[in-house]
């Protein structure tokens, strides 16, 4: 069981403090420093207002009709698109039978709007509402989802695109491709799936990359559709298209390829990299990749292979009439791009870290208890101070892989910049960033079941004195 209560706002953080009264006070989300930090960043002066109603709905996956929870009945939820510097005013109305929240995945926004109960706010109760108000800081491909229980594995997710006001725009069209594993309303739901894992332990499935999952999802979706009735993306041959891939799954890494095409990777988790050519990409939960593709003449399968699960999600890319081949694109069996082949074009400067936090990823499938440094859902923060260069080391001591995600910051890997990073069994990955966004920030595995079973921690700013 996770050791924190979702209703108690900051209660546990304060408790974590009580034990060691000699420590400096924490910079809580309510600290005036949080809004002051945002106001120093400037903005466009434009406001983008939207209402997001989290509600029970029935959704057609392209054949199977399922009862689930969505934002406003849409799957994925309607894309939210703003320019960097815009003030976002997103009103969450909770029509679910339980508490909820919205987290803006990947954004270095102000801490009190991060949507991570109980650390940054109290969860929004049924029939209540909460308005998120923040300046969208940096351009890129992001998304949003609840940060409450296993709700990420329902239909509550949508793309959040922050456009670059000075985008070089060397493409003719842009497509957003959202990947998801689906089980809700297929005779089970995410809460039952988690209860089952806790009762019986998991049996992990593995693919050729060593990646796999714990739950056998009934369907795999691209933009809300099963492979048998795919969405079609249409354009003229020869056009250059920017594809923004978002993995919104709870428990599945996808290997993606566009049959008959090479892709040029341009961004990792919103941040630019030197263009890198590849046939296929592996995308862990929470990760995003932007690629450029020059379209050939014909109809082509855009395939996302569920790693270790012997299942696929599919879409169609069409520039001419004719049928699309059912065969598995050869690109899927070629080389996939790896982090160390990618190079951020705006890298963090090289500096000696002021503070190093080692986070051992712990736990196992049998007990289905996961943790960080042996503790499940421990809200005692790993401390940093504004201005420090921080090094986080994720050391995976488990037999499973974990896509580790840090809120409120984009870190530098050896190569690209990211906010979510795959850590393989036995591997240690170092992430460096500047502590420039004061507050209390979650660090966790983006496997929704691992996170809920305890693989969650807090990185907390303390006052410098």
- Residues of this chain that interact with Cu ion (CB under 5 A) are 402, 445, 447, 450
| Sheet order of strands, 311-318 included | 232-234, 311-318, 299-306, 254-258, 281-283
Mark 332-345 as b/e (b = at least 16 C-beta within 10 Å): beeebbeeebbebe
Cis peptide preceding 76, ω within 30 of 0: yes
Cα–Cα distance, 31 to 215 (Å, whole number): 40
Partner whose footprint covers residue 405, from ligand C2O, Cu ion, none (CB < 5 to 8 Å by kind):
ligand C2O
Burial class of residue 158, CB neighbours in 10 A (0-12, 13-18, 19+): buried
Q: Closest distance between ligand C2O and the C-beta of residue 105, in Å?
A: 4
3-state secondary structure of 449: helix
Q: Is 288 in the site for ligand C2O (CB under 6 A)?
A: no
Q: Closest distance between ligand C2O and the C-beta of residue 185, in Å?
A: 22
Among 110, 147, 261, 418, binds ligand C2O (CB under 6 A): 147
3-state secondary structure of 212: coil
Q: Closest distance between ligand C2O and the C-beta of residue 101, in Å?
A: 10
Q: Is 105 in the site for ligand C2O (CB under 6 A)?
A: yes
Taking CB under 6 A as the binding criterion, the range among 36-44, 121-129, 175-183, 438-446 that sits at the site for ligand C2O is 438-446
Contact yes or no for 295/235 (Cβ under 8 A) = yes
Nearer to Cu ion, 38 or 452 (CB): 452
x/- string (CB under 6 A) for ligand C2O, residues 268-287? ------------------x-
Partner whose footprint covers residue 217, from ligand C2O, Cu ion, none (CB < 5 to 8 Å by kind):
none
Q: Which of 304, 298, 308, 302 is nearest to 251 (CA)?
A: 308
Cα–Cα distance, 37 to 46 (Å, whole number): 19
Q: Closest distance between ligand C2O and the C-beta of residue 464, in Å?
A: 26
Taking CB under 6 A as the binding criterion, the range among 81-89, 297-305, 409-417, 439-447 that sits at the site for ligand C2O is 439-447
Nearer to ligand C2O, 301 or 377 (CB): 377
List residues near ligand C2O by CB under 6 A: 103, 105, 145, 147, 286, 405, 407, 442, 444, 446
């Amino acid at each position: 069981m996770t050791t924190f209560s979702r209703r108690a706002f900051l209660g546990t953080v304060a408790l974590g403090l009580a034990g060691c009264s000699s420590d400096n006070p924490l910079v809580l989300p309510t600290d005036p420093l949080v809004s002051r930090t945002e106001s120093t960043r400037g903005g466009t002066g434009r406001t983008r207002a939207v209402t997001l109603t989290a509600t029970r709905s029935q959704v057609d996956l392209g054949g199977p009709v399922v009862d689930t929870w969505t934002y406003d009945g849409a799957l994925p939820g309607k894309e939210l698109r703003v320019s960097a510097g815009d003030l976002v005013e997103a009103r969450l109305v909770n029509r679910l039978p339980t508490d909820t929240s919205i987290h803006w995945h990947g954004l270095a926004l102000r801490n009190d709007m991060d949507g991570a109960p109980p650390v940054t706010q109290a969860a929004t109760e049924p029939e209540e509402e909460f308005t998120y108000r923040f300046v969208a800081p940096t351009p890129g491909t992001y998304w949003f989802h609840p940060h409450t229980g296993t709700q990420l594995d329902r239909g509550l997710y949508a793309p959040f695109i922050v456009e670059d006001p000075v985008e070089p725009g060397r493409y003719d069209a842009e497509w957003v491709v959202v990947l998801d594993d689906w089980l809700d309303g297929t005779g089970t739901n995410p809460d039952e799936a988690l209860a089952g894992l806790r009762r019986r332990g998991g049996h992990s499935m593995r693919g050729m990359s060593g990646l796999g999952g714990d739950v056998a999802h009934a369907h795999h979706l691209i933009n809300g559709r099963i492979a048998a009735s795919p969405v079609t993306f249409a354009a003229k041959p020869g056009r250059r298209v920017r594809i923004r891939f978002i993995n919104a799954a709870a428990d599945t890494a996808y290997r993606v390829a566009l049959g008959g095409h090479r892709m040029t990777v341009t961004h990792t988790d919103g941040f630019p990299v030197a263009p890198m050519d590849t046939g296929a990409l592996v995308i862990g939960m929470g990760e995003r990749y932007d690629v450029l593709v020059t379209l050939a003449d014909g109809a082509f399968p855009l395939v996302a292979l569920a790693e270790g699960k012997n299942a696929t999600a599919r879409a169609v890319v069409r520039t001419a009439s004719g049928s699309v081949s059912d065969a598995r694109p050869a690109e899927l069996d070629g080389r996939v791009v790896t982090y160390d082949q990618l190079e951020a074009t705006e890298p963090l400067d090289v500096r000696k870290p002021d503070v190093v936090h080692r986070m051992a990823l712990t736990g196992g499938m049998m007990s289905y208890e996961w943790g960080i440094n042996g503790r499940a859902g421990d809200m005692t923060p790993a401390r940093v101070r504004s201005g420090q260069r921080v090094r986080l080391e994720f050391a995976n001591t488990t037999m499973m892989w974990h896509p580790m995600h840090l809120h409120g910051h984009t870190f530098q890997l050896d190569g690209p910049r990211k906010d979510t990073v795959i850590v393989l069994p036995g591997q240690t990955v170092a992430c460096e960033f500047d502590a420039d966004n004061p507050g209390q920030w979650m660090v966790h595995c983006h496997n929704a079941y691992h996170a809920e079973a305890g693989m969650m921690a807090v990185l907390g700013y303390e006052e410098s004195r």
